[in-house]
A and B are shown apart, each in its own frame.
Chain A
Amino acid sequence: MNKPTTQTRSQGGPPTRARRAAGKRSPAPARTPARLAAFGPAARLRRPRVLAVVALCAAALALPQVLPASDVPVLVTLLLSAIVVTGLSMLMGYAGQISLGHAAFYLIGAYTAALLATHGRPTWLGLAAAPLAAAVVAAVIGVPLLRLRGHQLAFATLAMQLILLNVVGQQEWTGGDIGLQGVPRLTVAGYEFSSATSYAYLTLAALALVVIVTRNVVASRPGRGLRALATSEVAAESAGVPVVAYKLAVFSLSAGFAGLAGGIYAFYTGYLAPGSFPVLLSFEFVVMAVIGGLGTVWGALAGAAVITLLLQELNELGTAEGMPGSAPAVLSYAVYGLLLVLVVLYLPRGLVPSATAWWERRRARRRSGGPHDDSPAAGAGAGRGADAGAAAGKGT
Chain B
Amino acid sequence: MSEFVQYLVSGLAVGCSFALLASGLVTIHRVTRVVNFAQGMFAVVAGLTAGSLLSAGLPHGLAEAVAVLTAGAAGLLVGVAAVGRRGTSPQSALIVTLGIGFLAYAVEIVIWGEDPRSFPGLGGAVEIAGAHLQKQYFLVIGAAALAFAALGLFFTRTLLGKALGACASNPYAARAVGIDVTRMGLVAFTLGGVLGGVAGVLVTPLQSLSYNSDVLLITNGFAAAILGGLTRLGPALAGGLALGVAESMVAGYYEASYQSVVALALMLAVMVWRASQHTALQEEASL
Using a CB–CB distance below 8 Å, which chain A residues touch chain B?
Answer: 24-25, 98, 144-145, 147-152, 154-156, 158-160, 162-163, 166-167, 169-170, 232-234, 237, 243, 279-280, 283, 286-287, 290, 326, 329-331, 333-334, 336-341, 344-345, 348, 394
Chain B interface mostly: helix
How far, in Å, is A48 (CB) from chain B's closest CB?
A: 32
The docked-state distance in angstroms from the alpha carbon of A253 to that of B271 is: 24
B118 within 8 A of A: no
The docked-state distance in angstroms from the alpha carbon of A234 to that of B90 is: 20
Q: Which residues of B contact A98 (CB under 8 A)?
A: 91, 94
Q: Which residues of B contact A336 (CB under 8 A)?
A: 99, 102
* Contacting pair A170 B96 (CB below 8 A): no
* Contacting pair A330 B99 (CB below 8 A): no
Q: Which residues of B contact A394 (CB under 8 A)?
A: 87
B91: which of A150, A233, A283 is its contact (CB, 8 Å)? A150
Question: Known interface pairs A158-B219, A330-B110. Does A340 touch B261 (Cβ–Cβ under 8 Å)?
Answer: no
A-B interface pairs (CB < 8 A), number = 142
B272 within 8 A of A: yes
* Contacting pair A148 B272 (CB below 8 A): yes
Q: List 24 A-B contacts (CB under 8 A).
A: A24-B91, A144-B268, A147-B276, A150-B90, A150-B91, A152-B271, A159-B219, A163-B264, A166-B258, A167-B261, A170-B257, A232-B284, A233-B284, A237-B280, A279-B215, A290-B95, A326-B109, A329-B105, A330-B110, A339-B99, A340-B98, A341-B99, A344-B99, A345-B88
* Contacting pair B92 A348 (CB below 8 A): yes
User: Knowing that A25-B91, A333-B105 are A-B contacts, what are 12 other residue pairs whose CB atoms are under 8 Å apart, sorted by A's residue number?
Assistant: A24-B89, A144-B272, A151-B91, A155-B35, A159-B264, A233-B280, A233-B284, A234-B281, A279-B215, A333-B109, A338-B103, A345-B85
Q: Which residues of B contact A290 (CB under 8 A)?
A: 95
* Contacting pair B102 A340 (CB below 8 A): yes
The docked-state distance in angstroms from the alpha carbon of A169 to that of B257 is: 10
B265 within 8 A of A: yes
B113 within 8 A of A: yes
* Contacting pair A340 B96 (CB below 8 A): yes
A160: which of B107, B268, B275, B283 is its contact (CB, 8 Å)? B268
* Contacting pair A154 B94 (CB below 8 A): yes
Question: Known interface pairs A24-B91, A152-B271. Does A337 touch B222 (Cβ–Cβ under 8 Å)?
Answer: no
Q: Which residues of A contact B222 (CB under 8 A)?
A: 155
The docked-state distance in angstroms from the alpha carbon of A329 to that of B114 is: 9
**Category for how many chain B residues contact A:** 35 or more
**Closest chain B residue to A238, Cβ basis:** B281
* Contacting pair A163 B35 (CB below 8 A): no
The docked-state distance in angstroms from the alpha carbon of A150 to that of B96 is: 15
Q: Which residues of B contact A345 (CB under 8 A)?
A: 81, 85, 88, 92, 96
How far, in Å, is B241 (CB) from chain A's closest CB?
A: 19
* Contacting pair B268 A159 (CB below 8 A): yes
The residue among A234, A280, A286, A345 with the most chain B CB atoms within 10 A of its own CB is A345
The docked-state distance in angstroms from the alpha carbon of A150 to that of B281 is: 15
* Contacting pair B260 A24 (CB below 8 A): no
* Contacting pair A148 B271 (CB below 8 A): yes
3 closest Cβ contacts across the A-B interface? A340-B99, A337-B103, A337-B102
B66 within 8 A of A: no
* Contacting pair B283 A149 (CB below 8 A): yes
B219: which of A155, A233, A237 is its contact (CB, 8 Å)? A155
The docked-state distance in angstroms from the alpha carbon of A330 to that of B280 is: 42
The docked-state distance in angstroms from the alpha carbon of A162 to that of B219 is: 10
The docked-state distance in angstroms from the alpha carbon of A152 to that of B264 is: 13
Q: Which residues of B contact A234 (CB under 8 A)?
A: 280-281, 284
* Contacting pair A163 B283 (CB below 8 A): no
B267 within 8 A of A: yes
Q: Enumerate B250-269 residues with CB–CB distance to A below 8 Å.
A: 257-258, 260-261, 264-265, 267-268
The residue among A154, A329, A334, A344 with the most chain B CB atoms within 10 A of its own CB is A344
Q: Which residues of A contact B81 (CB under 8 A)?
A: 341, 345
Q: Enumerate B59-88 residues with CB–CB distance to A below 8 Å.
A: 81, 85, 87-88
B275: which of A24, A147, A331, A344 is its contact (CB, 8 Å)? A147
Question: Known interface pairs A151-B35, A340-B102, A345-B85. Does A166 touch B261 (Cβ–Cβ under 8 Å)?
Answer: yes
How far, in Å, is A15 (CB) from chain B's closest CB?
A: 16
